[in-house]
Structure 1
Amino acid sequence: MKAYIALIKKEARENWRTYKTPLLVAVFILFGVISPLFAKLMPEILKQLATTGVKITLPPPTALDSWAQFFKNMRQMGLLVLVILFSGTVATEFTRGTLINLLTKGLPRRTVILAKFTMTTVLWTSAYALSVAITTAYTAYYWTMPTYHHLILTFSGPWLFGLLLISLLILGGICFTTTIGSLLTCGGAVILMTLINIVPTWQASNPLTLITQNLALLTGKLAVGDFWPAALVAVGAIVISLGSSIIIFDRRAI
């Protein structure tokens, strides 16, 4: 346990010194601010972009437009920022050889994997929760908040998908020992999920549901039971990815 805590502190220091922590927090604060603001200003922006003689009529923006923009930002940019910032979380240890001394002194290799996953999860959870809180505050300021459904499950979707991406980055780093390998593993998994999503009968259990159906769940158009299969598959994939990382790392020569 002492080694585990020491490694977490080491990860925390390195993430701060390499500006990963402040960058992640800053980007997600920005998402929290611009999501409701962009939804509020979108009708005016479209009016300004309209060509002469073309009239654009849009309904007044609502709180749901703000959340639609938030989930879109998370899906298109937020998760991408997470992947880019932490793509080298394992690969850099191999290139710099920083683990050799620790491992030769008897540090369990699984402790390295678990500490990296824990620290990255803490940063991702903190940044995501902060972004949700800021979006909630600004949305409540601009609009009257409607009745929402399944709040915890709705906002847990992108968070859980982020954990899945983190576990895939670690697996890719262990398998290929390069940042490119981590990115290719993560990107390949997302492409595979996108292809699987083409089959209608497989969509319900596809982890992509966690980041594509949030608004439907929030408005009650999607039942909780329609969301659970994807969540369970994502949890299973995380466990398999971390377990595989530990097994492969135990057998890899440093």
Structure 2
Amino acid sequence: MSGYYAFLKKELLESIRTYKLLILIAVFFIFGMLSPLTAKLMPDLLSSFLPEGITLTVAEPTALDAWMQFFKNTSQMGLILTVILFSGILGTELTRGTLINMLTKGLSRHAVILSKLTAMILLWTVSYMTAFVVTWGYTAYLFPNDVPPHLELSVFCLWLFGTFLMTLFLFAATLVKSSYGALILTGAVSALLAMVNIAPLAQKYNPLILALNNTALLTNAIQPSEMYSALTVASICFPLLIAGAAVTFKKRLL
């Protein structure tokens, strides 16, 4: 375990020195700030772009609009940016030879996988919670006493999907040599999940709905019980992907 903690410390320090942590926190902070502001100002923005003499009736913005923007920004641009920043988490060190030197000095391959995954999840969690806290604060200020239902579950579902995606990406990185290959493989699996989501019978088991049905939860279009199967599948996939990454990396020729 000493190797795990030492390598985890190295990963976290590297994320600070390479500005990954700073970039993620800054971007997610902006997402968190823009979500309620966009919801509040959207009616005025739409009116300003209309030709003179034309009026458009827009419903009064609510906290729901702010949280809809939050989930849209985070599930799309936020997750994509996070995965891209982590694209070289394994391949770059193998290419430079720095990881090989540490492995030959006694660092276990399992410790490498677990420490890298822990660092990825920690950075994702800190960034995501930054966006959530900022959105919550601005929304509470702009739309006081207006909290949509099932907000906590919606926030947790998207966090869990992000964690699932980080684990999937690390597993993909152990299967291919290049960073681009890991990105392509992760994108291909995500596309496959999107295709599976077309089948009504498979939807409730698809981890992808954890990032797609957040707004539906907030509007009571679906009930929390309809997310439980996907939560279970994602929770089961998590240790399986970790084990797969550890086994694959152990057998990989460096």
TM-score, structure 2 normalization: 0.95
Query: 2:98 aligns to what SS in structure 1?
Result: coil
1:201-212 aligned within 5 A:
201-212=201-212
Counterpart in 1 of 2:168?
168
Counterpart in 2 of 1:227?
227
Q: 1:119-176: CA deviations, max 9, x gaps?
A: 1111111111111011000001111233543333211111111111111221121111
Is 1:34 aligned to 2:34, yes or no? yes
Partners of 1:147 and 1:35 lie apart in 2 by 15
Query: Residue 208 of structure 1 aligns to which amino acid in structure 2?
Result: L
In the alignment, structure 1 segments of 5+ residues that lack a partner are none
Counterpart in 2 of 1:116?
116
Q: 1:57-80: CA deviations, max 9, x gaps?
A: 101100110001111111221111
Counterpart in 1 of 2:250?
250
Identity in percent? 43
Counterpart in 2 of 1:149?
149
Number of residue-to-residue matches in the alignment: 254
1:181-192 aligned within 5 A:
181-192=181-192
TM-superposed CA distance for 1:17, in Å, is: 1.3
Is 1:136 aligned to 2:112, yes or no? no
TM-superposed CA distance for 1:82, in Å, is: 0.7
Partners of 1:133 and 1:148 lie apart in 2 by 16
Contact 2:64/2:148 (<8 A) preserved: no
Backbone CA RMSD of aligned residues: 1.4
Query: Residue 26 of structure 2 aligns to which amino acid in structure 1?
Result: A
In the alignment, structure 2 segments of 5+ residues that lack a partner are none
Partners of 1:191 and 1:159 lie apart in 2 by 19
Is 1:101 aligned to 2:101, yes or no? yes
TM-superposed CA distance for 1:187, in Å, is: 0.5
